[in-house]
A and B are shown apart, each in its own frame.
Chain A
Amino acid sequence: MSKRTAFRLLLAALILVTGALGCARDEPQIAMGVRTANDHAPFYLADKLGYYQDEGLDVAVHLVPSNTEIIEAVQRGDLQAGAVPITTAIAAISAGVQIKIVAMTGRAGDGLLVRSDSGIETLADLRGRRVATIRGSILDVPLRVALQDAGLDPERDVTMIYFTKLGDMIQALETGQVDAASNTEPFMTQVERDGWGEILCYYSASWPDHPCCVVFVSESLRSERPDDVVALMRGHLRAVAYAQDHPHETAEAIVEYLEAFDVPLVEASLDEHKMRIDAEITPQEVECMAGLMHEFGLIERLPRADELLDTSLLRRAQP
C-alpha cells in the first residue's frame, strides 16, 4: 500500500469516527457558563434535577470564576449561553459583543456593608468616606442610585475604591481600609452572622426589585437554533418556580455547587426581602439600567432596546 493510499484511508476513518461520535448524540448541545452566586440557583437546580434533559437538551453547566470570562468564552465560541449580572451583559452589548438577554434569573440581593463599630447609621453618614465597589458592575450602579437618593454625589461626596473581587472588599472593610463595602448575598448575611459587620442597607430600598442577574444567549445560538433556546427557557422557568417554592432544597443546591457556606445561612439569605429569584424581565427595566450606566459614564454607547433584549423566546416557553 502506498503512503498516499494509507493516508487517505486514515483520513476517511477519522471522518467516519467523528461523524459517528457526533451522531451518537441525539440531544442538541448547549454549553452554558454561570457564576457561583445565590441567584444562579436555577441553573444548579435545573442541572441537578435534569430539567434541561426533560426538554430534550444536553446542557453543560460550567461554573466560571468571573463574569468577564463568561463573556470572553462566548466570544470565542466555547460557550453559547450564560448568566451574568445585567450590567455585564449591557457593557458587553455596548462594546459590540454579539449576545442578547433573554430572561431574568435574580433580583436585588445586594447592598452596603459597614463595620458594627463604625458609627455609620445611614447613607448620608457616608459623606467623605471610602466605599469599596466593583466599577461598572451590578454592585456599582444601584449603589450610585442609592447614594444619589441620599443626597450624595457618588463621584464627589464619597471616595470610591475599585476592586475586582468580592472577598477583597470584605477583607478591606474588616481591616478598616474602607468604611463601606458594596456586596451581595450570601456574603452580607455571613458578615452579620460573624458579628463584626452589619448591613447598612439593601439597594432595593431605593430601587425595589432591581434586576440583578440575567440569562443571555449568543446571537448565533439565537438565530440558528431558536427552538433550543425556547426549550432552555422552559427548563429555566421550571427551575425558577421550584426555587421560589422550595427555599430549603434551593439552599442545599447552592451550598453543593458553591462548596461554601452552610444551608441555614444560605436559606436565611434567600429571604424574600433580601433577594428574589425570578424569570420575568421587562424592556423598561433593561433600558433604565442601560440609561443609568450611560449617565454614570460606565458605558460609552447606549445600545437600543432591541439590541439588548429579546423576550419572545421566553414568551414562547411560557404556557
Chain B
Amino acid sequence: MSGWRHRIVGLPALLLALVVWEVLPRSGLLNPVFMPPCSQVAWRLWYLLRSGELLRHCGASLLRVTLGFGLAAALAIPLGVLLGLHRRLYLRLAPLVGVLRPISPPAWIPLAILWFGIGNRPAVFIIFVGSAASMLLGIVAGARGMDRRWIEASLTLGASRRQAVLWVVLPALLPSVMTQLRIGLGLSWMAVIAAEMVAVNQGLGYMMVQARNLFQTDTVLAGMVVVGALGWALDRLLLRLERRFLGWRAELEPHDLLAA
C-alpha cells in the first residue's frame, strides 16, 4: 500500500471504537460513573489543557523520564558493550543483573522514598532501575552476537584495538543499541507513572492518582489518553533518530549483522 493509504486504513476501527465509547455510557448500558463517555473525556482534556495543568504535569513526567532514561542509557550502553565483548567479566556480573532485572518498578518505591525522600529524585531512581537492567542485558546480547570477524577484518587492515572499538564495534552495535533504547524508553515511560505515586506535586501519574481519590474518572481517562499519546510520540521520535543514523540498514536482514 502506498504512503498515505496505509495510514488511513486503521481509521474506521478507531472511529468505531470512539463511537461505541460515546454511545454506551450515554445510553446507560454502561454506568457513566465507571466509564465516562468519550466526549466528556475530550472536554476534560481540553479543560486541563486550557488551564495549563496538563502541560505542567506532562512537563514534570517528561523531565523525569528524560533524566531516568538518560542515566540508564549512559550506564547500559558502555557497560553493555564491555560485558558483551569480555566474556569473563560478563560471567561474573550476569547473575547479579539477572536477579535485579525482574524487580518491577513499583517494588522499588518504598526503598526509593527511604533513600531519596520526596521530589524528582525517587522518581528518577525508579525509572532508572526500571529500564537500566533490561537495556543492559539486551545490549550485552547484541554485543555477544556481533560477528567477531569484523574486528578481525579491521585488525588485518591495520587498525589498533582502540580504532577497532570506535570504528567497528560501535557502528556494528548501533542497530541493536537503538532497538534496546526504544524498548528502554517504553519501560521508562511505564515506570514514570508508577513512580509518580510517590510524594510529588505534579506529573501525569500524580494527576491520575489524585483524580481517582476524588472520583473524577474522566480525568483518569484523560490522563491515560495523554500517557498513551506521549508514549507513542516518544517512540516515534526514537524511530526517526534510528532511521537517520541507520540509513544503511535499509535492506539489511537482522541476521546479517550476527555471526554467521
State if A and B touch, Cβ cutoff 8 Å: yes
Interface residues, chain A, with chain B CB atoms under 8 Å away: 67-68, 71, 75, 91-92, 94-98, 132, 135-137, 160-164, 168, 171-172, 175, 177-178, 298-300
Indicate if the CB atoms of A92 and B199 lie closer than 8 Å: no
9 closest cross-chain pairs (CB), A and B: A95-B215, A177-B117, A91-B214, A163-B199, A92-B215, A177-B118, A68-B213, A136-B214, A96-B33
* Residues of chain A lying within 8 A (CB to CB) of residue B114: 171
Pairwise interchain contact A95-B214, C-beta atoms closer than 8 A: yes
Contact A175–B214 (Cβ < 8 Å)? no
| Contact B216 A95, beta carbon cutoff 8 Å | yes
Which one, B32, B33, B117, B209, contacts A164 given CB within 8 A?
A: B209
Q: How large is the interface on B (under 10, 10 to 19, 20 to 34, 35 or more residues)?
A: 20 to 34
Closest-by-CB residue of B relative to A75 is B33
Inside 8 A of A95's CB, which chain B residues have their CB? Answer: 33, 214-217
Known: A132-B199, A171-B114, A300-B216. 20 other contacts (CB 8 A): A75-B34, A91-B215, A95-B33, A95-B216, A97-B215, A98-B33, A136-B213, A136-B214, A160-B201, A161-B199, A161-B201, A162-B201, A162-B210, A163-B199, A172-B113, A177-B117, A177-B118, A177-B199, A178-B118, A298-B214
CB distance from A280 to the nearest CB of B (A): 27
Chain B residues within CB distance 8 Å of chain A: 31-34, 113-114, 117-118, 197, 199-201, 206, 209-210, 212-217
Interface of B is mostly: loop
- In the complex, how many angstroms separate the beta carbon of A130 from the nearest chain B beta carbon? 9
Give bound CA distance, A71 to B217, whole Å.
13
Closest A residue, CB atoms, query B206: A162
A175 contacts across to B, CB distance below 8 A: 117
User: What is the minimal beta-carbon distance from A33 to any residue of chain B, in angstroms?
Assistant: 15
Partner of A135, one of B31, B117, B210: B210
Closest to B117 in A: A177
- Contact status B213-A172, CB under 8 Å: no
Of the listed residues B32, B113, B213, the one surrounded by the most CB atoms of chain A closer than 10 A to its CB is B213
The answer to whether B214 touches A164 (Cβ under 8 A) is no
* Complex Cα gap A175–B114 (Å): 9
Contact partners of B201 in chain A: CB under 8 A? 160-162
CA distance in complex: A96, B214 (Å): 11
A299 touching B33, Cβ below 8 Å: no
User: For the complex, what is the distance from the CA of A101 to the CA of B189, rounded to whole Å?
Assistant: 40
Q: Which residues of A contact B118 (CB under 8 A)?
A: 161, 172, 177-178
Q: In the complex, A135→B202 CA distance in Å? A: 12
The reply to whether B199 and A162 form a contact with Cβ atoms under 8 Å apart is: yes
A179 to B85 CA separation, bound complex (whole angstroms): 51
A98 to B34, CA, bound (A): 12
- A299: chain B residues at CB < 8 Å are 214
Can you pick out 22 interface pairs between chain A and chain B where the beta carbons lie within 8 Å of each other? A68-B213, A75-B31, A91-B215, A95-B216, A95-B217, A96-B32, A96-B33, A97-B33, A97-B215, A135-B210, A135-B213, A136-B210, A137-B213, A160-B201, A161-B118, A162-B199, A163-B199, A164-B209, A172-B113, A178-B118, A298-B214, A300-B216
